[in-house]
Amino acid sequence: MNVAFIGLGIMGSRMANNLLKHEGITLTVFNRSAEAMSALEKSGAKAAESARAAVADTEVVFTMLSAPEVVDEVAFGEQGFVEAMGEGALWVNCSTVNPSFTRECDQRARAQGVRFLDAPVAGTKMPAETGELTFLLGGESADVEEVQPLLDHMGQKVLHVGPAGQGSAFKMLVNALLAQSMLVYSETALLGEKLGFSRDFLMDTLPNLPVTAPFLKGKAGLIKEGDYEAQFPLELMLKDLQLLDVTAYEHKQPLFLAGLAKSVYGQANNAGHGRDDFAAVFEFLEKLG
């Protein structure tokens, strides 16, 4: 199978590398930064000069890009790749974007004879590296079945949650919980320190309580070490909270607590934590105390 992968950041580079580990896949990659392509070339990928060149003669195209504006430009801009895809080829967008934008992508792609799936992922850098992501798919069942073997190379679970747009919609819910849980945990642990408990005790104990989100076990260990290397950059969490805000507005559903969370992450971003992991909101709040 001829496959293209466009967007080789923290997540995309690792996902593409997992595809390369399996026989029968010819992988062409494109990224604005040539350095990311060079690493995958050494593992057997073909590096393309443009997104349009990457999709030539491919059956499936994966994209993992940072924001709706970037997806729009790369897919449909003056040098957009969609019109260069073959009739009936399948575009699988793994980028985290808002549902209304996703449905627009589906309509525009199908108008040019290209099938579309939205497939954002649950998981950060390490699950991407080890092939343990969860894919949240929106689209036609037949298209899901066709791409399932490729997704299995990159993830451990595929949830088909409805038509195009619903994968992105479910990702909004996942990241709403993720962002707010990290913030609540940070506030609670910092108060615990003020009440006289050691950081080591809190980081070892709070994550194991039944009221604590499971993902915080991993974050607690990193906080204890002061390690905020980006698994999921804070600036992208802020972007996702903005998309959540847009989505809530479109559906006339107030999100009071998520709005407060967006404000805090925005302040942390302005304070210089944008390229840190989103757990760095802990350090930001600590400095305010």
> Where do we find the tokens 């980081």?
203
Separation of alpha carbons 145 and 92, rounded Å: 13
Q: Which amino acid belongs to residue 61?
A: V
Cα separation, 268 vs 289, in Å, equals: 14
- Per the CB < 8 A criterion, the answer to whether 62 and 92 are in contact is yes
Q: What region does 95 belong to: left with phi over 0, alpha with psi -120 to 50, or beta? A: beta
Dihedral, CA of residue 30, residue 33, residue 39 and residue 40, to nearest 10: -10
Which of 88, 114, 121, 39 is CA-nearest to residue 29?
39
| Residues classed as catalytic | 171
Angle between helix 99-111 and helix 68-76 axes, rounded to 10 deg: 10
Q: How far apart are CA 93 and CA 104, in angstroms?
A: 12
